[in-house]
Chains A and B, each alone.
Chain A
Amino acid sequence: MNNSDKITKYFLFAGSFLILIVAGGMVFSLVGGAIPAFHKFGWHFITSTNWNPTEGRESYGAMPFIAGTMITSVLALLISIPMAFSTSLFVSEYFRKTPVASVLSTLVDLLAGIPSIVYGLWGFYTLRPFIMHLGLSPQGFGVFTSGIILAIMIIPYATSLSNEIIVMVPNELKEAAYSLGATRMEVIFNVIVPNARSGIVASYILAFGRALGETMAVTMLIGNANKVPHSLFDTGNTMASVIANQFGEADGLKLSSLIAIGLLLFIITALVNTAGKFIIKKLS
C-alpha cells in the first residue's frame, strides 16, 4: 500500500471519528448541564411530582413528565397496533404486488413526511373539537388526544418494517398450510405471525421509540399541566413538551432541570431504540 492510499484511509477514519466526538460531546453536555439539578434534588428528582418554579421555593421533579410520556406513548402504540398490523397484511399479504397495495403503502409512507407541527395543527383544529363534540373532555386537550395523533404519526414506522418481515415469510410454509385446507386467516395466525413475530415486535418497539420523543404535536394537544394525569382524558405534559414549553423563560436551576429531563429522555429513547435494533440484528 503506497502513501496516497494510506492518506485516504486515514482521511476516511478521521471523518468517521467526528460522529464519535459528536455523540460523546452530546452525552458530556447533557450530563454536565443536568448536574446542578441532580446535585440539588438527588435521585428524588426522578420520583418527585412537584414542579414549582416560584423563586425561593423552587422545587423540580420529573415524575409528571415521565408518566405523561409513558402514558401517551403506550396509548399511541396500542391504538396504532391494529391499524399498522392490518395495513401490513393488506400490503404484504392480501393485496401483495397489486396497484391498490402500492397506493396504500405510498399514502402511509406520506404520513411519515408530514411535519409534526402540521399534525399538531390538525389535532388542534379538527381532532380536538371532535373530542369535545363526543363529550370526552371539556377542552379537548389531554392524554387521549395526544395519543391519537401520536398513533397516526408512528403508523408508517411500524408498518414499513413489518411489511418487509411479512414478505420474507417463506412461501412454501404458507402453501403447505393452504394445502391442508387452512383459510387465509388461519395461515396468517398460524404461519405468518409466528414466523414474523420478532420482526413485527421490533418494528413496534421502534415506533414506540418515535412516540417517546415527539414534541410539537404533543405540546399543542396535551394541555400543559405539570401533574401526573389521572385519567385518559386528563391533561398533562410529556418530557419533550415540558422542554419545548418552558425552555424560553428558563435559567439557573430550572434550565438545569429541563436539561436533566432531556438527559432522561435521551437515555430512555436510546434504550428503547437499541432494544428494537438488537432484535432486528438477531434476525438478519
Chain B
Amino acid sequence: MKVIAIRDNSNSRNTKNKIFLGIVIFFSLLTILPIILIVGELVVKGIGQINLSFFTEVAPDTLQAMVAKANGETIPGGIANGITGSILIVVLAAVMAIPFGIITGIYLYETPGKRYSNIIRDIADVLQGVPSIVLGLIVYLWVVKHITHSYSALAGSVSLAIMMLPLIIRSTEETLKMIPGTLKEAAVALGVPYHKIILRVLIPSSFSGLLTGILISISRILGETAPLMLTTLGNPRINWDITHPTSAVPLLIWQFYNDPNMVELIWSSSLFLMGFVLTLNIISKRISAKHSIH
C-alpha cells in the first residue's frame, strides 16, 4: 500500500474524493437509465394493442394488416400462435432438461473432488458459455436434418433444453451444498436406502433452491430468438404437433419487425414477452431470498 501523506494536501485530496463520488453516482445512474427507457417505451407504445384478441387470435397475415392500416383501424389479430408455441417449446425443453439437470447436480454434489465429476462440472461451465446461435446450428444438424426432417417444435426444445441444462446442474449442486450435512447423516444412521435419502431428504429440503434455479433457467430461455430461427422457423397457425414448424413469441416479434405492415404489433408482443420474463425473474428472486439459508 502506498504511504499516504496527510495534512499538507488534504484539501485537494478531499476535493478529488468528492469528485470521484460524483463520477460513481453519475455512471451508476447512467447504468440504470436504459432499463427505465426500455420499459417505459414498451409500455407506452405497446399497452394500447393488448386486449382480449391479443391472446385469443393468431397473428394476421401481411395483407390483413395492410388493409386495416389503410382503413385507419388497429391491426386485427393477436399472438395466440406464438403463446401456444412458446408454451409447447418451453414445457418440452423443461421436461427434457430438469430431470437430467437435477440428477447430474446430485451426482456432482455426491462425488465432490472426483476427477470425473470435475470434468462434468467444467463441461457444464463451457456449455453455459456457448452462444445460443451455435446451439441452434448444432440442433439443426441433429434434429431438423435427421429426426424430424423439417423445422420443428422438438428441435427448438432441444436447443433450449441444452441452454437450461448447465444452469440447473449448477444451481442444484450449489443448493445441495447449503443443506446441513447432519440432515443426511441422520437419514443414513437410520438405515434409509440411498434413493430414499435423495427423494425424501435432499430434494425436499432443497426444494425452494431447485425451484429458483428452474424458474431462472426458464426465464433465460423464454426470450431466446436466435436458436429458434434455426430450428422451429415459425408457423402462422396454432400448432401442437412437435414434429412441425411452430411459432413462438420471440419469433413473432422478429417476423413483425421485418414486415413493414405489421410493425405496430412488435411493441405489444415485446411488452408481453418482457413482462413475462421479468415477472418470472422477480418471483424466483423472491423465493430464493425468502428461503435461502445464509
Contacts and interface: CB of A to CB of B under 8 A. Distances in A.
Interface of A: 2, 4-5, 7-9, 11-13, 15-16, 18-20, 22-23, 25-26, 29-30, 32-33, 82-87, 89-90, 94, 104, 106-111, 113-122, 124-126, 152, 155, 177, 180-186, 188, 190-191, 194, 206, 209, 212-216, 219-220, 240, 243-244, 247-248, 258-259, 262, 265-266, 269-270, 272-274, 277
A104 B225 CA distance: 28
B27 A87 contact: yes
Interface string B95-135: 00001100110111010000001011011111111111111
A86 B27 contact: yes
Nearest to A263: B134
B211 interface: no
Contacts of A214: 131
A247 B104 CA distance: 34
B198 interface: yes
Given A5-B194, A273-B125, A15 B219 contact: no
B72 to A, nearest CB: 22
Contact of A262 (B13, B133, B225, B257): B133
B68 interface: no
Main SS of chain A's interface residues? helix
B253 interface: yes
Interface in B163-215: 165-166, 169, 193-195, 198
Contact of B137 (A191, A248, A259, A277): A259
B137 A22 contact: no
B28 to A, nearest CB: 4
A129 to B, nearest CB: 12
A185 B106 contact: no
A86 B24 contact: yes
Given A117-B250, A126-B41, 20 more contacts: A12-B106, A18-B100, A19-B100, A19-B123, A26-B130, A30-B134, A86-B24, A87-B31, A107-B32, A113-B219, A113-B274, A114-B277, A122-B38, A122-B41, A183-B13, A185-B16, A206-B129, A216-B254, A243-B136, A270-B126
Range of interface residues on B (Cβ < 8 Å): 35 or more
A4 B195 contact: yes
Interface of B: 1-2, 4, 6, 10, 13-14, 16-17, 20-21, 23-28, 30-32, 34-38, 41-42, 99-100, 103-104, 106-108, 110, 117, 119-120, 122-138, 140-142, 162, 165-166, 169, 193-195, 198, 219, 222-226, 229-230, 250, 253-254, 257, 266, 270, 273-274, 277-278, 281, 285
A16 B107 contact: yes
Given A113-B219, A266-B130, A29 B141 contact: yes
Main SS of chain B's interface residues? helix
A117 B103 contact: no
Contacts of A106: 285
Contacts of A124: 257
Given A16-B104, A213-B134, A177 B1 contact: yes
16 contacts: A2-B193, A5-B195, A11-B103, A12-B110, A15-B107, A26-B138, A29-B142, A109-B285, A118-B273, A122-B41, A125-B41, A180-B6, A185-B16, A215-B226, A216-B225, A247-B229
Contacts of A190: 1-2, 4
Given A12-B106, A212-B131, A115 B126 contact: no
B37 A122 contact: yes
B139 to A, nearest CB: 9
A220 B129 contact: no
Contact of A19 (B127, B142, B222): B127
A25 B133 CA distance: 16
B270 A118 contact: yes
Given A15-B104, A83-B30, A110-B278, A215 B131 contact: yes
A94 B230 CA distance: 46
Given A115-B222, A118-B270, A269 B110 contact: no
A83 B35 CA distance: 14
A46 to B, nearest CB: 17
B124 A181 contact: no
Contacts of A109: 281, 285
Contacts of A85: 27
B1 A15 contact: no
A77 B166 CA distance: 25
B145 to A, nearest CB: 10
Q: Which of B25, B34, B37, B230 has the most CB of A within 10 A?
A: B34
B2 A12 contact: no
Nearest to B281: A113
A115 B277 contact: yes
A181 B35 contact: no
A19 B17 contact: no
A184 B27 contact: no
A163 to B, nearest CB: 12
A87 B131 CA distance: 26
